[in-house]
Amino acid sequence: MNRKSRVLSTRRQRPLRRDSGTTGVPKRILRRQLTAEQVDEIYASAIDKIRSWIREKVSTLPPGSANRALLEKLQHLRPEKAFDELLSRSYPNPERVGCPPYRILMELGTRTRSLDDPWHEHIAHCHPCSAELRTLVRSYMPPDPS
């Protein structure tokens, strides 16, 4: 058995830590609050990684292929537009199957629901919901002081 599979099998066998006083509920790991600068750094790093991946992928695709044309188009888009294009192609949901009501999107957009809320998983995999949520967040953000 190689080292990697040993580690994986050990992880599977370890029981989840449970919160004392609760029955069957895994203890949640509290996440620290990020500053706006930290969020911007994470966002910029993610955009750089995506752009790097696109450059690498374009170099491997034959000229004139549809995938190469798409990736070349993505290279020249602003980060928000590129992200929106990728999400719309990866997770289209035109029928809005399983989407939360507007009230929940509003609560997520105004951050009255926690980051642990299960609706975040749906939003991460649904282009219409994520686009609507980004619009809500932008509308509730305080104006830039600069």
Query: Within a domain: residue 109?
Result: yes
0.85 surpassed by pTM = no
82-141 confidence digits (pLDDT tens): 888 888 888 999 899 999 999 999 888 888 888 788 998 999 899 999 999 888 888 777
Residues 97 and 133 placed together within one structural domain of the fold: yes
Instruction: Please list, in sequence order, all residues whose beta carbon lies within 8 angstroms of the beta carbon of residue 64, skipping any fewer than 6 positions away.
Output: none
- Per the CB < 8 A criterion, the answer to whether 98 and 122 are in contact is yes
Query: Within a domain: residue 83?
Result: no
Residues 73 and 96 placed together within one structural domain of the fold: no
CA–CA gap between residue 106 and residue 145 (Å, rounded): 24
Residues 52 and 73 placed together within one structural domain of the fold: yes
Residues 98 and 72 placed together within one structural domain of the fold: no
How many domains are contained in the chain?
Answer: 2
**Residue 67 belongs to what domain range?**
36-78
- Per the CB < 8 A criterion, the answer to whether 61 and 91 are in contact is no
Which is nearest to 125 in space by CA: 88, 95, 76?
88
